[in-house]
Amino acid sequence: MNEKNIKALEPAESAMGGKIDYDEVRKLVGLLEEKNLSVFELEVEGLKIKIARNSPGAAPLMAAAPAVSAAPETPEAAAAAEARAQAIEAAKGHHLITSPMVGTFYRAPDPTSAPFVDIGDTVKKGQTLCIIEAMKLMNEIEADVDGTIVEIYAENAKPVEYGQKLFAILPVS
C-alpha cells in the first residue's frame, strides 16, 4: 500500500488525446521526482495535465529520520512507467477492468490451477478474469466486453483498492 505511485488524475482532467508526447510525460514525472512534488499542473496548447504523487516532503533525505522509515516498496521507475502506461491505455482506447471492491486479487481459482486468463488471450463477455477475495468471500470478476487481454496490472495474491486497474482489454471492433 505504501507504493509511491505516480498517477495521472481524474480522467476528466487528464483528457489526453493522440496529441500527447509520452517523452513529455516521462519528463514531467522526472520533474516530479526531482522537485519532490506532490501535485503538479501544467497546461500546454489547451491540454491540461495534472500529476500527483504520494510523497510529501523530501523522500530521500527524510529517510534519514527513522520515524519516516516508510521506504518505497516499488521503485520510482515503476511508478513512472505506470503513469505512462495509463496514459497510453487512455489514448489507445483500451477497455479497462477495474476492481469493484477492496480485497485480494487472485489470477487463478486455487494455487495449483492455471490462471483464468493471460496476456494475449481472447475473452468473451461474462468470462471470469480473476477472483477478488473480500470478507472471506471469493468474488469472480467477469469481462464486460469481448476482446483480447493486452495487460494485467495487478499481481497475484496482492491487495487491490476500489477502482484499481486489473486488466486492459482490446475490444473486438
Partner 1 sequence: MFSKILIANRGEIALRIVRSCRELGIKSVAVYSEADRQALHVLLADEKVCIGPAKASESYLNVANILSAVEISGADAIHPGYGFLAENAKFAEICKTHGLVFIGPPASIIRLMGDKNKARQTMKKAGLPVLPGSDTVIDDLSVAKKVASKIGYPVIIKAAAGGGGKGMRICRSASQLEDQFPIAQGEAKAAFSDSSLYIEKFVSGARHIEIQVIGDRVGKVTAFGERECSVQRRYQKLIEETPSPFIDWKTRRRMIKEVEDAASEVGYQSLGTFEFLVDEDHKFYFMEANARVQVEHPITEMVYGINLIKAQIRIAAGEKYAPPYALEMRGHAMECRINAEDPVTFAPSPGKIDFLVLPGGEGIRVDSAAYGGWVVPPNYDSLVAKIIAYAPSRELTIAKMRAALETTTIVGIKTNIPLHLDVLSDPDFVAGRYNTQFMEDHLSSKAAEETG
Q: Give the footprint of partner 1 on this chain (CB under 8 A).
A: 1-2, 9-10, 35-41, 52, 54, 56-58, 61-62, 64-68, 70, 101-104, 134-135, 159-164
Q: Which is nearer to partner 1, 37 or 129 (CB)?
A: 37
In the bound state with partner 1, the residue whose beta carbon lies nearer, of 52 and 108, is 52
Q: What is the smallest separation between the CB atom of 148 and partner 1, expressed in angstroms?
A: 27
User: Which residues does residue 140 pair with via DSSP β-bridges, in sequence order?
Assistant: 131
* Minimum gap (Å) between residue 101 Cβ and partner 1: 6
CB of residue 146 vs partner 1: minimum separation in angstroms?
Answer: 26
C-alpha span between 25 and 87 (Å, rounded): 9
Q: What cell was used for 110? A: 486455487
Angle between helix 22-35 and 76-92 (nearest 10): 150
5/52 Cα distance (integer angstroms):
9
Angle at 87 between CA 82 and CA 90, to 5 degrees: 125
Question: Nearer to partner 1 by C-beta: 98 or 127?
Answer: 98
Quote the least distance from Cβ 138 to partner 1, whole Å: 13
* CB count in 10 Å sphere of residue 97: 22
Q: Cell digits for 40?
A: 503538479
Q: Which is nearer to partner 1, 79 or 149 (CB)?
A: 79
